[in-house]
Amino acid sequence: MNSEVKSAGVRLNVVCPAFVDTDLIKEINDDNCLDVQKASKFIEMIGVVSKEVVVDCFMELVRDVNQNGAVVKCSKMDGTQYTSIEVKPVT
């Protein structure tokens, strides 16, 4: 992260939810999806998390001031997983 941004107290973290229980998932049909059957099977395999799970992941990153450059993946299948990103300066 840019040293000026970091010294200003700015943190950069990312939440990557899998499928979330929203209208977007509930309303998959032939008008908005190329293959409803494949999409439905994939969603079933990965699982759908609640909005509350995504909010909890987000709030965890907000509250933990030591997290900077973290990526939190949240899915029904794999639970919550932390990884990090390496940001390279543009030259």
Q: Give residue-wise pLDDT tens across range 51-87.
A: 999 999 999 999 999 888 899 999 999 999 998 777 6
In a domain, residue 25? The reply is: yes
CA atoms within 13 A on the CB side of 45: 6
From 5-9, 14-18, 25-29, 34-38, the region with the lowest mean pLDDT: 5-9
The per-residue pLDDT for 81 is: 93
In a domain, residue 91? The reply is: no
Question: What average pLDDT does this structure show over 22-36?
Answer: 92
Structural domain for 73, as ranges: 3-84
Into how many domains does the chain fold? Answer: 1
In a domain, residue 29? The reply is: yes
Per the prediction, the chain carries an average pLDDT of: 89
In a domain, residue 34? The reply is: yes
